[in-house]
Amino acid sequence: MPDYRDMPGYRDFAPRQGFQPTLALSPDAGTVAYSSNAAGRFDLWTIPVAGGVPRRLTRLRDGAVRRIAWAPHGKSLVFTADRDGDEQYRLYRVDLDGDGGPAGVPAEIGAGPRCQRILPAAPFDAEGRRLVYAANDRDETVQDVLVRDLAAGTERRVEPPPGVVFRPAGISPDGRWLLTAGFRTQMKVAAYLIDLRDASAAPVCVTADHGDGLFEPGPWASDSSGFYLRTDLWGEFVAGAFYRLETGTLEPVAQHDWDVESIEVAGDTLVWSVNQDGCSTLYARHAGRPLPLPAVPPGVVSALALAPQADPLVVLLDTATRPADIAVLDAADGVRRLTDARPRAFTAKPPDAGRPVEPVEPEPVVYASSAGRYIHALYYRPHAPGPHPVLLSIHGGPEAQERPEYVRCGLYQYLLARGIAVFAPNIAGSTGYGARHQRLVHRNWGGFDLDDLDHAVCHLRSEPGVDVARIAVMGGAYGGFAALSCLARLPYRWAAGVSLSGPANLVALARSCPPTWRPFVAAVLGDPDTDAGYLTQRSPITYADTITAPLFVLQGARDPRVPPAESDRLVDRLRSRGVDVRYEVLADEGHAFTDRETELRVYEEIAEFLCDHLLGESG
């Protein structure tokens, strides 16, 4: 076995900063606003598009900036933030001085009861007088849309139809219409129009005649003639379309054999991103003609902001071998990064930390599962010769996707450098591989998805270079549920397991979900009252007596989705049987990390735990 004593530690693989998936470009296209934890928490920052020194605009002691938008006059920004991951988002405005720096502390907008305030990407009208957002302040189970007159300090409230969750998209450039998404589930989304000239006008669903599938509204055309949207109207994969107000028709504008994942508009320029087997591919059109864009490395564009003619086009770009950074795409310079989050392990020069480590690119793999289905996965093989122990890593969601990103805050690359392979499948329920594959998990958690994980292990056991006696499983959120299900229900001798915020009891999960999520949870997971039998039968806690592998359980004390008491129950059950369980409740965290130091410490402990059980020595 190679000697790893002089190898960089886990923290040498951690990104220098992390980002929330939100970008906002100033009206003059000269400055980008973003959310970064470079100072420890997710604060609001800006940086010039030409490059330069970032400015920190907020100093949130217990908060995290989640969504950002620039006011049309360019003199202020609005943003949402929650506290210690409680997902009770508050809405703030911060004014800027003439140099783009902070002129004062953030002022809260629409202060009131604890609730979820949702800010769209384009929340202002053209004059910057009206601001639109969603909130469940009137009824915790209902998400209304509010249009706030910033000058008068008044608000108009628009209530959704029963069973619909409203999420505003934006106000038309002429100020006439408010475009709003109406969610019933993630795959059943309609577009609604609200007449802003008529205070008594009810919201009108304008896509009902086209079906009840996905019609997720996006940006307006610059002339207010219609809006762009994502739809599954024409097949298995999500296309880009244009809804024309005058005729009520839908016109395809971007159709591919993969999902269109985002659409942005600036003037006569249209840019869209396609999720091609996990990698983001960008396309652009200006005045109806194709607009060439620089090629981006294989990875994921998780946020995008642009000016007319895509000059500039700013993206948040993440790859498997380089953490997320803000980058500008232009014809002259190609991909020009404004930030540099690369870890020390990849950039160190002797004698500081030895030779730089060569990161590992994942290999796309397709393996057979049941019922003639095939599962796409990413396989990370260490550079060192095998046989290798393997970590089976399961993404959250379940309606999400394992993609070539620098995931788990550098954990993958650290394990790879230690000689541990990582296998990350896109099992039933994953997005990106068609609507049928995504729907397989609806009201069927622990069904086809667990079968796909069983076949993943079978695939690994047939792979050359795999140490079949040393396979561990890990996941967060839904992935934590899936990892616990593997340990409890699949007939393998697992080397170890890790669950981050993983629900062990599906009945408790369905009951404790955020109030506005109840229609989604009933459709995708099940109703805790009418489906308690099925939910209990699929819950890992039901099979706790079959878990024997060493287990690391992490739980946020403020988690609004997964009740900490259920993790307590699982751990108590396992410890009463003598199972080796390491358990940590994170006092100031919710369902996901908000404090950088806590995140680094936790992943460092996970790395040590996995190395201990997969390599037989502490990391």
Q: What is the pLDDT of residues 26-58, one digit of tens each?
A: 999 999 999 999 988 889 999 999 999 999 999
Q: Quote the pLDDT of residue 89.
A: 81
Identity of the highest mean pLDDT range in 70-74, 197-201, 240-244: 240-244
Given the DSSP bridges, would you call strands 31-36 and 581-586 parallel, antiparallel or unpaired? unpaired
Judged by average pLDDT, the poorest of 59-63, 101-105, 431-435 is 101-105
Give the pLDDT band of residue 559 (cuts 50, 70, 90). confident
Q: How far apart, in whole angstroms, are the C-alpha atoms of residue 242 and residue 473? A: 43
Complete edge-to-edge strand list for the sheet that includes strand 259-266: 259-266, 269-276, 279-286, 289-290
Query: Is 617's pLDDT higher than 60?
Result: no
pTM assigned to the model = 0.90
- Lowest mean pLDDT: which of 84-88, 208-212, 396-400, 566-570? 84-88
pLDDT at 351 (0 to 100): 45
Q: What CA–CA distance (Å, rounded) separates 169 from 122?
A: 7
- At the fourth CATH level, the homologous superfamily of domain 354-615 is Alpha/Beta hydrolase fold, catalytic domain (3.40.50.1820)
In this model, does residue 217 exceed pLDDT 90? yes
* pLDDT exceeds cutoff 80 at 507: yes
- Taking the C-alpha atoms of residue 315 and residue 158, their distance in angstroms, rounded to an integer, is 33
For 105-116, what is the mean pLDDT?
79
Contact by Cβ (8 Å): 188, 139: no
Residue 349, pLDDT score? 62
Supply the pLDDT for residue 100: 43
What was the pLDDT predicted at 518? 81
Helix or strand holding residue 597 (H, E): helix 596-615
Indicate whether 594 pLDDT > 90. no
Flag whether pLDDT at 353 surpasses 60.
no
pLDDT given for residue 619 in this prediction: 34
> Mean pLDDT lowest for which of 190-194, 321-325, 558-562, 579-583?
558-562
User: Which structure tokens are listed for 283?
Assistant: 């396309």
CA dihedral of residues 589, 115, 126, 66 (deg, nearest 10)? 0
Domain boundaries in the chain? 25-260, 354-615
Q: Tens digits of per-residue pLDDT, 381-406?
A: 999 998 999 999 999 989 899 999 99
pLDDT of residue 1: 46
How far is residue 120's CA from residue 118's CA, in Å, rounded to a whole number? 7
Mean pLDDT for 460-466 is 93
Q: In the CATH hierarchy, which top-level class contains the domain 25-260? A: mainly beta
**Distance (Å, rounded) from C-alpha 35 to C-alpha 44?**
5
State yes or no: pLDDT of 133 exceeds 80: yes
Q: Is the pLDDT of residue 562 over 90?
A: no
Contacts 24+ apart (CB under 8 A), 184-189: 184/212, 184/519, 184/520, 184/523, 185/519, 185/520, 185/523, 185/524, 186/399, 186/520, 186/524, 187/213, 187/214, 187/232, 187/435, 187/438, 187/439, 188/212, 188/213, 188/214, 188/523, 189/214, 189/215, 189/216
Kindly tell me if the per-residue pLDDT of 572 is higher than 50.
yes
* pLDDT average, residue stretch 247-266: 94
Residue 588: partners with Cβ closer than 8 Å, 6 or more residues away: 62, 84, 85, 557, 558, 594, 595, 598
Strand runs labelled E in 341-381: 363-368, 374-380
Q: pLDDT category, 519, cuts 50, 70, 90?
A: confident
Mean pLDDT of 125-153: 89
Average pLDDT, the chain: 90
Residue 129 to residue 428: CA distance in whole angstroms: 46
CA–CA dist 367, 252 (Å, integer): 33
Q: What are phi and psi of 216, to 5 degrees?
A: -85, 110
Of the CA atoms within 13 Å of residue 444, those in its CB half-sphere come to: 16
CA distance 244 to 233: 16
For the stretch 145-186, pLDDT in tens is 999 998 888 889 999 999 898 999 999 999 999 999 998 887
* pLDDT for position 101: 46
